[in-house]
Amino acid sequence: MIKHDNNLIPHDTTPEAARVQTEIYKNMTGEQRLEIAFKLSNNLRQIVRDGIRHRHPDYTDDMITQAYLTLIMDDTEFVKEAFGGREVQP
């Protein structure tokens, strides 16, 4: 990230592109920005699950969910208990 006019800009983005993107976001309604946030969150969740599936091709969907929850929750023992005491690696 580089700093430009007190904003952080990813290295692969020009200052002009960042300015245009910022203007687009400013002109969106709160609902539109929220929709983008939800989509980005869902995309990230899928990327994490795909990474687990790539590292553990033998995992069932249930095991992938458990591994995902193990990554995002502080209480790994709770997750383990919720899945019947089974332990998986994320």
13-43 pLDDT, tens digit per residue, is 888 998 899 899 999 999 999 999 999 999 9
The closest alpha carbon to 69, from 61, 23, 24, belongs to 61
Helix (H, G, I), strand (E, B) or coil at 33: helix
Domain boundaries, the chain: 2-82
pLDDT digits (tens, 9 = 90+) for 51-75: 999 999 999 999 999 999 999 998 8
Which residues are CB-contacts of 87 (< 8 A; sequence separation ≥ 6)?
A: 80
pTM of the model: 0.74
